[in-house]
Amino acid sequence: MDDDERIISGESTGLDEEKTELSLRPRTLKQYIGQEKIKKEVAIYIEAAKNREEPLDHVLLYGPPGLGKTTLAGVIATEMGVNFKTTSGPAIEKPGDLVALLNELQPGDILFIDEIHRLPKNVEEILYSAMEDFYIDIVVGQDATAHPVHFPLPPFTLVGATTRAGLLSAPLRARFGIVEHMNYYTEDELTAVVLRSAAVFDSKIDPQGAHEIARRSRGTPRVSNRLLKRVRDFAQVAHKESIDLEIVNYALKLLQVDERGLDETDRKMLMTMIKLYAGGPVGLATIAANIGEETDTVADMIEPYLMQIGFVKRTARGRMVTPAAYSHLGLDLHDEKN
């Protein structure tokens, strides 16, 4: 499900061959590329739960956006052979919304909540007993007619995903038995993602072209797939039989994606910090205001990768641009400081 879809949906994920055919979003652990440590651990947890004929323990997946948290949740459901129902934190506005969701679950089902850190506090508190003891207590009616109702639930698995694990309350986090951190992908892993996606698109691609797309994908499969789609457009219009290194370089140059995967917004942030604040330290809110982005967008979408590659560092007084970033931008550190 796309990030901007504010809907609650249910999807059956059986294990028959028709439903495990090649698709852009992997359906099984075997198809899922990358996150090897997590896959090995989750495979053990799934096998143990199935042997005991119990639901999988609740799972929390956290890490930067685009690394496959939603996909992995769907894979877990497929491997468990249960239904997969999805929603997001902002979509559950009141306790009644959560009750309606939980009421639809069958024993063993997986409920996936994306952006779980954005759950309203009163909704989150209802989850505590639902996760721990599989019941909820709700108040029905108002004023003199108000009375509590004890509502039993079938055993289920909650899979939560978040880009901001630090915003989760301690009581909610403590109720997840399985907590996994999603890491950025290596170039080799992303090359495999690009080759697989190209096969799904029925597009021919050279290994060199695939590797170049991977190299500029910010360690993120979602970015790899997005860049592949755009490069495929350029190749088609240029009547290329295969997506080769030449068309990849041409397309990504026009798209302003450089050799390290930085785009126009990344460079704008770095140059703003350098030109206006001598490279920092500068506060996150100040950076966001200067480049015309929301603070959450900078914190979740832009800053993590710049920190990962060592172009930005956090200090007690704010963010700072590193010498490596100056070098990448072709700037002299000492000249810019003066």
pLDDT digits over 298-318, tens only? 988 899 999 999 999 999 899
337 falls within a domain: no
Angle of the 187-200 helix axis to the 221-237 helix axis, nearest 10: 50
The DSSP result for 73-102, as a single string, is: HHHHHHHHT-EEEEEEGGG--SHHHHHHHH
130 falls within a domain: yes
Same domain, 279 and 243: no
Same domain, 98 and 237: no
- Catalytic residue chosen out of the listed positions 13, 27, 69, 244: 69
Average pLDDT, integer, range 138-152? 73
Q: How confident is the model at residue 140 (pLDDT cuts 50, 70, 90)?
A: low
Is the sign of the CA dihedral 153, 99, 106, 78 positive or negative? Answer: negative
How far apart, in whole angstroms, are the C-alpha atoms of residue 231 and residue 217? 13
Same domain, 45 and 175: yes
Same domain, 160 and 274: no
C-alpha dist (Å) from residue 115 to 7, 60, 143: 13, 11, 34
Same domain, 42 and 171: yes
139 falls within a domain: yes
132 assigned ligand-binding residue: yes
8 A C-beta contact, residue 11 and residue 85: yes
Question: What does residue 336 show for φ and ψ, rounded to 5 degrees?
Answer: -70, -30
Same domain, 77 and 193: no
* Annotation says 186 is catalytic: no
259 assigned ligand-binding residue: no
Residue 321's DSSP bridge partners are 312
pLDDT at 327: 94
- Catalytic residue chosen out of the listed positions 163, 191, 220, 322: 163
Say which CATH number the domain at 200 has: 1.10.8.60
Same domain, 48 and 87: yes
Task: Find the helix or strand (DSSP H, E) in which 41 lies.
Answer: helix 36-52
Say which CATH number the domain at 309 has: 1.10.10.10
On average, the pLDDT of the chain sits at 88
pLDDT at 335: 58
* Annotation says 50 is catalytic: no
Of the residues 144, 162, 181, the one at which a domain ends: 181
319 assigned ligand-binding residue: yes
- Is the pLDDT score of 12 beyond 90? no
How far apart, in whole angstroms, are the C-alpha atoms of residue 29 and residue 119? 29
Report DSSP state, residue 302.
Answer: I
pLDDT at 3: 39
- Is the pLDDT score of 86 beyond 80? yes
Domain count, the chain: 3
Structural domain boundaries enclosing 300: 264-329
Burial 232-243 (b: 16+ CB within 10 A, else e): bebbeeeebeeb
Ordered alpha helix ranges (H), 163-298: 170-174, 187-200, 207-215, 221-237, 245-254, 264-277, 284-291, 295-297
Q: Per the structure block, which two tokens stand in for 216?
A: 């500029």
* Annotation says 70 is catalytic: yes
Of the residues 148, 181, 214, the one at which a domain ends: 181
- Is the pLDDT score of 13 beyond 60? no
* Annotation says 157 is catalytic: no
- Is the pLDDT score of 99 beyond 70? yes
Q: Lowest mean pLDDT: which of 22-31, 44-53, 227-236, 305-314?
A: 22-31
Q: How confident is the model at residue 20 (pLDDT cuts 50, 70, 90)?
A: very low
How far apart, in whole angstroms, are the C-alpha atoms of residue 230 and residue 228? 5
Same domain, 22 and 171: yes
Q: pTM of the prediction?
A: 0.83
Same domain, 88 and 117: yes
8 A C-beta contact, residue 81 and residue 54: no
* Annotation says 337 is catalytic: no
186 assigned ligand-binding residue: no
Q: Per the structure block, which two tokens stand in for 248?
A: 């990849």
Same domain, 84 and 106: yes
Say which CATH number the domain at 58 has: 3.40.50.300
335 assigned ligand-binding residue: no
Task: Find the helix or strand (DSSP H, E) in which 38 lies.
Answer: helix 36-52
pLDDT at 96: 83
- Catalytic residue chosen out of the listed positions 13, 27, 87, 114: 114
6 falls within a domain: no
- Is the pLDDT score of 21 beyond 60? no
Q: How confident is the model at residue 337 (pLDDT cuts 50, 70, 90)?
A: low
Same domain, 45 and 140: yes
| Share of residues in the chain with pLDDT > 90 (%) | 73
Of the residues 229, 255, 281, the one at which a domain ends: 255
9 falls within a domain: no
Same domain, 278 and 208: no
